Amino acid sequence: MNFITRTLAAVLTALSLAPAGAAVIETHSYTTSTSDNFYNSYVSATDLINIGQASYGSVSQDGAFNGGYGLPGPHDGIGQNGTNQDHTVFTYSNVVTLTYTLNTNAGTGGSATGYTITAVDVVAGWPSYAPYSGQNWSVAVATVANPTVFNQLAVVGYFPCGEMGADTYGYTHVQLTRDTGALATGISAIQFSLASVPAIISEIDVTGFATPVPEPAALTLLLAGLLGVGVRSRRPAKR
Q: Give CA–CA dist 31/193, Å, rounded.
A: 24
Q: What is the largest CA-CA distance in the chain?
A: 90
Q: Which residue, 50 or 211, is less far from Ca ion as judged by CB?
A: 50
CA 151 to chain centre: 13
Q: Which residue, 45 or 154, is less far from Ca ion as judged by CB?
A: 45
Number of residues written out for the chain: 239
Q: Where are the beta strands (DSSP E) in 85-182?
A: 89-91, 96-102, 115-126, 135-143, 151-158, 170-177
Q: How far is the CB of 141 from Ca ion (least distance, A)?
A: 17
Q: How far is the CB of 235 from Ca ion (least distance, A)?
A: 56
Q: Which residue, 9 or 78, is less far from Ca ion as judged by CB?
A: 78
Torsion of CA 124, 56, 207, 202, to 10 degrees: -10
Q: Which residue, 50 or 172, is less far from Ca ion as judged by CB?
A: 50
DSSP-derived secondary structure letter, 54: T
Helix (H) or strand (E) holding 15: helix 3-16
Q: Kindly list the residues in this chain that would bind Ca ion in the complex (CB under 5 A).
A: 44, 47, 50, 73, 76-78, 87, 203, 205
Q: How far is the CB of 19 from Ca ion (least distance, A)?
A: 28
DSSP-derived secondary structure letter, 135: E
Q: Which residue, 73 or 198, is less far from Ca ion as judged by CB?
A: 73
Q: How far is the CB of 38 from Ca ion (least distance, A)?
A: 14
CB-based contacts of 155, cutoff 8 Å, min separation 6? 137, 138
Q: How far is the CB of 30 from Ca ion (least distance, A)?
A: 18
Q: Which residue, 44 or 135, is less far from Ca ion as judged by CB?
A: 44
Q: How far is the CB of 75 from Ca ion (least distance, A)?
A: 5
